[in-house]
Structure 1
Amino acid sequence: MAILFSNATVLPMTASGDEPRTFTGAVGIDGDRIALVTASETDAAAFRAAHPGLRVIDCRGKLLMPGLVNTHCHAAMTLQRSYADDISLMAWLHDYIWPFEAHQTPDDVALGMTLGIVEMLLGGVTSFVDMYYFENRCVEVAERLGIRALLGCNYFDTNIDEVLPQAEEAVRLAAAGSGRVRIAVAPHSPYTVSPENLVRGKELADKHGLHLMTHISETQDEVRIVREKYGRTSVEHLDRLGLLGPKTIGAHCVHVTDSDIATLAARGVTVSHNPQSNMKISSGVAPVEKLRAAGALVTIGTDGTCSNNDLDMFEELRTAAFLQKSATGDPVALPAYEALRLATANGARAMGCADGGLGVIREGALADVIVVDLQKPHLQPVHNVVSNVVYCGKASDVETVVVGGRIVVENRRIEGVDLPELYRGVAGAVARIKAAQ
């Protein structure tokens, strides 16, 4: 079905320089693509005439913008939300998270993934980059719920022989699907995966043309361990092994040197900035402005729900902008429009959708858009709609979500999900896992 969003304040994320950021007009969708972007009522009328039976959605008093892209999360970790808080990272991992995960079944992971995707869709996230276990089981979940996803099959030295075959299976399953879901290889980090096994993951990624993702320089402990083992920074170590390139997504990149920054930029690595997680675990502040100045591709991710503790990208946007202003002492650092670019067009580039194919509202782009209700006390008055979205917006302001031309959230109701039943299933799984520990 064709869709026409009329009378909308449109934020295309295509403006540069002093060009206007928004306009009032209409956006038409035909199939999985945006077919019309116009301020002309005549053009909108022609689109209506050319598409009999189309769905018209009146967006008066609302904002139409690209869906948000979350470039680093562990969506299935919704099962561990608030399970282990206010603990140092290494104790958090070794004493709480990894023991909990040891008792999770593939069905548990699929259930946690369902809850995570529901949370993201309701919050305006139309694409996400994940990194977890049993991603072969999560392909069906992402397909069923209609989100766009890059699912990273996470491994350590201890489980690589189990995970790599799962990744192969996931590649086959994704290839048979809609095309919205793709697979990546995800070694956990340079301090938990040996050089030999990092290379094995890269070889699998190269075999299938997959992205590769890993945690990079998240904490001072990681940097110390890598330097003690290999005599290099994490970035230098990964670069020497050939793991850094345009299809590499590095999460965090908090403790990076100027030389590391230059390398990340030169190799075309995506840096996924996770400000709230970094703050909560006291990892530090990523040098986002230095990375951007060097030409690195910087994006935004939430990380997992037990180190954040939610998947709200609106909160993440605001935190990212405020944190850079505070850390640099410069109120001009990471202005609102640039922060929003990190979570839209830049995120699309990280997922391999360059040239305006995703993350923007442009004719010919994939039809991943959201409608934000501006008729809220915290979004009024509207002096600057971009500032309102970034500095005042909330996930609950999202009213409608379209992915690939399909309406998956309408009037804050998500298609095909019984929320009370989902919550009961999650509670049951958590109770069983905790009892088994």
Structure 2
Amino acid sequence: MLYLRNARYLDSVTFAFFEGNIAVEEGKNGDIRLDVVIPPLPERNVGDREFDCKGQLVMRALSCGHHHIYSILSRGMPPLPRTPQNFNEMLELVWWRLDKCLDNDMTYASALAAGLFMAKNGVVFCIDHHASPLAADGSLSAISKAFEQIGIGHLLCHETSDRDGIDIAMKSLAEHERFFAAGGKGHVGLHASFTVSDDTLKAAVALAQQYDTGIHIHVAEARSDQKHCLATYGKTVVQRMKDAGVLDMPKTILGHCVHVSEEDKAILAASPVWIAQNVESNMNNNVGLGDYSFSKNVMFGTDGMHSDMIRSAQAAYFTGVMTEGQTLDGAYKRLRNVHRHTALHGPVGDGANNLIIFNYDSPTPLIPDLSHGNVLGHFFYGLSAKNVSTVVSRGKIIVENCRLVSGDEEEILAAACEQGKRLWEKLR
């Protein structure tokens, strides 16, 4: 049991304040108890720990709804053969060159580094969409191993597509089956409609149904995805997914959905699936910004741009004011919607015993209360990852006073640099 003394706990749903001591249970989806009496040392169990919050703000930790951890090794990568002129060329010249060079050592190092950054940003759960088409076998286990070392809960998938041939696509699906059969949790990953054949789509849906999960796929991220689908199949991407049964599965995640039609929006609004919004990536790729006001099942991701969900939420709010009349409350609900999604998968480690302790010295009063408080004003205009001081994952402290304690930061970054050099040599 972890005991937090002198905490200022802010409920992440009601914004009610509690000041006092908190007991935090260990384990996946453990609970917390407020207003506890911390037992004296002789009465504690082996492994119990007490941590003095010194009046600092405590909130539920954050989770990422859509990441690409392998992109960690792309920072400062060698110059491209030429400058991409559109989104498809960005894929061909950057990401599809890079992901073909990955092996499991690189994937493992990427996951450790991403886990380090997430932990220090108060993000302790990650839904990842991995791509290593020529090294699929064992890749999901490599990510899972790294995340477990850091203390990052996870739902994983491998990006399946036909861009490298049907044999490579089937190896990707086989990696899902191997991972799920061994007890791993996640989705069945697909790249996007324009790189997935009907046969591969059908096989992926069958696999997702077999393991009671959903599909995780990019949908209409750029206009080109829609144009290809209309020209090839005579229907939009959303309609194609609907006909294939993808939208019948409540655990399905559709990434982006920037260029969906009004008819598509009506279909999605009536389905139980989830949409992952990634505005910074959309701006970086110059594909536009979407309006997601039609759905209640929208959550935020980073799309591999970074590992900071406070930053993602703030970016989504500021752009959303222009694109869909977004409000502070609406943006915050989307940030927390990921917990609703992870709950569908059972006890996966995204519970109430994941906490952030903020070192937040405000120049103005922080007033609780959902109706009349100002918590959201502080969250979107005051807080940042630099205020994250201590992080609790599954009832255990993994970051303490801004330093990772579940791993060696210097060793993790050195290993990532070494694997990054190997990757870059392959890219040259």
The yes-or-no answer on 1:78 pairing with 2:83 is: no
Counterpart code for 1:374? Y
CA–CA separation in structure 2 for the residues paired with 1:371 and 1:318: 19
Give the 3-state SS of the residue equivalent to 2:232 in structure 1: helix
CA distance in 1, matches of 2:348, 2:13: 12
| Aligned counterpart in structure 2 of residue 66 of structure 1, from 44, 57, 60 | 60
SS of residue matched to 1:209: coil
Specify the alignment match of 1:30 in structure 2. Answer: 25
The Cα of 1:114 is off from its aligned counterpart by: 1.1
**Given the two structures, how large is their TM-score scaled by the length of structure 2?**
0.86
Whether the 8 Å CA contact 2:66–2:255 is kept in 1: the answer is yes
Q: Aligned pair in 2 of structure 1 residues 357, 435: CA closer, same or farther (>3 Å)? A: closer
Q: In structure 2, give the amino acid aligned to 1:340.
A: Y
2:152 corresponding residue in structure 1: 147
Q: Secondary structure at the match of 1:400?
A: strand
Going from structure 1 to structure 2, the CA distance change for 1:126 and 1:259 (only over 3 Å counts) comes to: same
Query: Which residue of the partner structure matches residue 270 of structure 1?
Result: 274
- Is the 2:31–2:352 contact (alpha carbons within 8 Å) kept by the matching residues of 1? no
1:204 aligns with 2:207: yes
Q: 1:287 aligned to 2:278?
A: no
1:405 maps to what in 2?
Answer: 395
CA RMSD for the aligned pairs?
A: 2.5
| Cα distance in 1, alignment partners of residues 55 and 365 from structure 2 | 11
Aligned partner of residue 97 in structure 2, secondary structure: helix
Once the two structures are superposed, residues 216-264 of structure 1 have per-residue CA deviations (whole angstroms, 9 ceiling, x without a partner) of: 1111111111111112111111001111131101111111222222222
TM-score normalized with structure 1 length: 0.85
1:380 to 2:363 alignment = yes
Q: Does the CA-based 8 Å contact 1:61-1:374 persist in structure 2?
A: no
1:108 aligns with 2:86: no
Out of 161, 166, 170, the position equivalent to 2:175 is 166
Relative to structure 1, the CA distance from residue 51 to residue 385 in structure 2 (aligned partners, 3 Å threshold; closer, same or farther) is farther
1:311 Cα offset (Å)? 1.5
Q: Does residue 334 of the first structure (1) align with residue 327 of the second (2)?
A: yes
Instruction: Judge conservation of contact 1:217–1:256 (CA < 8 Å) in 2.
Output: yes
Contact 2:7 2:54 in 1 (8 A): yes
Structure 1 contact 27–34 (Cα < 8 Å) conserved? no
User: Deviations 1:99-136 (Å, cap 9, x if unpaired)?
Assistant: 12222211111111111111111111111100113223
1:379-426 per-position Cα deviation (integer Å, ceiling 9, x unaligned): 433443332222222222111111211221111221342222322222
Provide the residue aligned with 2:217 in structure 1. 214
**Partner Cα separation in structure 1 for residue 181 and residue 391 of structure 2:** 28
Does residue 317 (structure 1) correspond to residue 320 (structure 2)? The answer is no
Instruction: Mark the CA change 1:386 to 1:281 in structure 2 (over 3 Å): closer, same or farther.
Output: same
Deviation at 1:354, TM superposition (A): 8.4
Give the structure 1 partner of residue 371 of structure 2. Answer: none
CA distance 1:34–1:170, change in 2 (3 Å)? closer
Deviation at residue 140 of structure 1 after TM alignment: 1.3
Which whole-Å CA distance do the structure 2 matches of 1:36 and 1:111 have between them? 33
Question: Displacement of 1:279 after TM fit?
Answer: 1.2
Q: Could you tell me which residue of structure 2 aligns to residue 45 of structure 1?
A: 37
Q: Take 1:356 and 1:349, find their aligned partners in 2: how far apart are those partners?
A: 12
State the percentage of identical aligned residues. 24
How many correspondences in the alignment? 401
Q: After TM superposition, where is structure 1 displaced by more than 6 Å over at least 4 residues in a row?
A: 46-51, 354-359
